[in-house]
């Protein structure tokens, strides 16, 4: 269904100054502000998908996946072209897992786990450059470039991280399997998205269904766990990995725990984490009839930002992001900002997409002490 390509505009608005509202709302002196790019999309394809991938290039251009293709927008939000299509041939997709901007932004890549391909395109023209055959893995939004290598956390893969060097098309998986993965696939698969950042010669990582930040060695082995205090968000119960029955009894896609989605290093050397609390509701009949395309709604959705000091000794917890979508939106980081992409029906013939940007500032944090301990000191038996 073709849409009216109405005029698109860029506007800036101050959404929140946390210190003005006081610490009772959880901002702890953190200031979160934002501007948003509003777009009119060419059609409604892919509107239902809750886990959309997107990337904003250095000059503001935007690439957004609609499941089996990528929509390309200029910096003002004007639709330029659609790249790729559904299928099993060259440059075609079964289901896009993530979109990667390659250094320099002249090329980008999209990972299709179902076709087991990394597919590389020219950004400006949309021309197919090549396809890289890989073992199936399911990366999310939280990829990071380090030198000539991109590291992609993989949600449903036994090895949690996959690295790719585009100049040689070398691809390998690595990292220790987190305990939450082995103890409860339900908690892991429903608990958010893995994320990783470089720290010295090693790494910092977060895993779905676990409320801690993990310090890793260079090869991804678990070294220490950093307990992040919980102030306003739900947090993650220590025994969640051993509570599969309780999770299932509470309903599909639903349990009372904060979902973790991202960790990122800020320009000042500190780290920012994003958690989400929500109450999903499943309409089983609608879900089955649509083959998973609809039937899940979300209520009481709140996103929280926690700042972790660069020496890992302090945290500024649970700053509430002024963003309340009616769907599960996966964020991604760039520099000092966190982004969320939403879609909604505007009229019978148009769909609007909005890229929400929130700048993060920890300069007025009320810091509290963290707890750092070896991973082995907190086993599954400790939480029973």
Question: Which residues lie across from 197 on neighbouring strands?
Answer: 204
Say what the pLDDT of residue 364 is: 84
Q: pTM for this structure? A: 0.84
Determine, yes or no, domain membership for 129. Answer: no
Interatomic CA distance for residues 365 and 29, integer angstroms: 5
CA 92 to centroid of chain Cα atoms: 24
Sign of torsion, CA 192 261 242 224? Answer: positive
Determine, yes or no, domain membership for 101. Answer: no
Determine, yes or no, domain membership for 343. Answer: no
Residue that has been written with the tokens 């801690």 in this structure:
212
Determine, yes or no, domain membership for 196. Answer: yes
**Residue in 185, 198, 181 with CA at minimum distance from that of residue 146:** 198
Residue-by-residue pLDDT tens, the chain, 384 positions: 332 322 222 222 222 222 233 343 445 446 677 778 887 666 655 444 445 688 889 998 999 888 899 989 998 888 899 999 999 999 999 999 999 999 999 999 999 999 999 999 999 999 999 999 999 999 988 999 999 999 999 987 788 999 999 999 999 999 998 888 888 887 888 889 999 999 999 999 999 989 999 999 999 999 999 999 999 999 988 777 666 555 555 555 556 789 999 999 999 999 999 999 988 777 778 777 776 666 777 888 999 999 999 999 999 999 999 888 877 888 989 889 999 888 776 655 566 778 888 999 998 888 999 999 998 644 333 333
Sign of torsion, CA 233 247 160 105? Answer: negative
Determine, yes or no, domain membership for 142. Answer: no
| Cβ 36 vs Cβ 357: under 8 Å | yes
- Rounded to 5°, the CA angle 374-377-378 comes to 110
Task: Identify the domain containing residue 373 by its residue range.
Answer: 17-31+175-337+356-384
Determine, yes or no, domain membership for 295. Answer: yes
Residue that has been written with the tokens 């709604």 in this structure:
297
Domain count, the chain: 1
pLDDT in tens, 23-74: 434 454 466 777 788 876 666 554 444 456 888 899 989 998 888 999 899 9
Residue 208: count of CB within 10 angstroms of its CB: 23
| Cβ 236 vs Cβ 184: under 8 Å | no
pLDDT in tens, 237-254: 877 766 655 555 555 555
């Amino acid at each position: 269904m073709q849409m009216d390509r109405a005029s698109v505009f860029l506007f800036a608005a101050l959404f929140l100054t946390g210190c003005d509202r006081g610490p009772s709302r959880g901002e702890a002196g953190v200031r979160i502000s934002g501007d948003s790019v509003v777009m009119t999309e060419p059609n409604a394809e892919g509107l239902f998908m809750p886990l959309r991938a997107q990337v904003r290039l250095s000059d503001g251009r935007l690439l957004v996946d609609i499941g089996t293709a990528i929509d390309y927008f200029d910096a003002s939000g004007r639709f330029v072209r659609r790249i790729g299509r559904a299928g099993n041939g060259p440059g075609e997709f079964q289901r896009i897992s993530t979109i990667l901007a390659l250094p320099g932004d002249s090329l980008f890549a999209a990972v299709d786990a179902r076709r087991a391909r990394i597919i590389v395109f020219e950004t400006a023209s949309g021309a197919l450059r090549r396809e890289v055959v890989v073992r199936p893995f399911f990366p999310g939004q939280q990829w990071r470039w380090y030198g000539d290598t991109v590291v992609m956390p993989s949600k449903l893969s036994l090895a949690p991280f996959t690295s790719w060097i585009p100049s040689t098309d070398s691809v390998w998986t690595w990292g220790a399997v987190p305990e939450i993965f082995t103890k409860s696939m339900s908690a892991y698969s429903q608990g958010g998205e893995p994320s990783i950042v470089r720290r010295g010669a090693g790494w910092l990582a977060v895993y779905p269904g676990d409320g801690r930040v993990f310090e890793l060695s260079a090869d991804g082995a678990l070294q220490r766990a950093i307990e992040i205090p919980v102030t306003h968000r739900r947090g993650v119960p220590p025994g969640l990995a051993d509570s599969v029955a309780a999770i299932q009894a509470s309903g599909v896609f639903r349990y009372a725990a904060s979902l973790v989605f991202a960790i990122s290093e800020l320009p000042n050397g500190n780290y920012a984490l994003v958690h989400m609390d929500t109450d999903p509701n499943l309409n089983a009949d609608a879900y089955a009839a649509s083959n998973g395309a609809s039937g899940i709604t979300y209520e009481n959705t709140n996103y929280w930002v926690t700042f972790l000091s660069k020496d890992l000794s302090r945290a500024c917890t649970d700053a509430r992001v002024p963003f309340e979508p009616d769907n599960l939106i996966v964020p991604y980081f760039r520099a000092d900002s966190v982004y969320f992409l939403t879609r909604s029906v505007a009229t019978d013939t148009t769909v609007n997409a909005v890229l929400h940007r929130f700048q993060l500032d920890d300069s007025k944090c009320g810091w509290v002490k963290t707890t750092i301990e070896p991973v082995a000191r907190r086993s599954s038996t400790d939480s029973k």
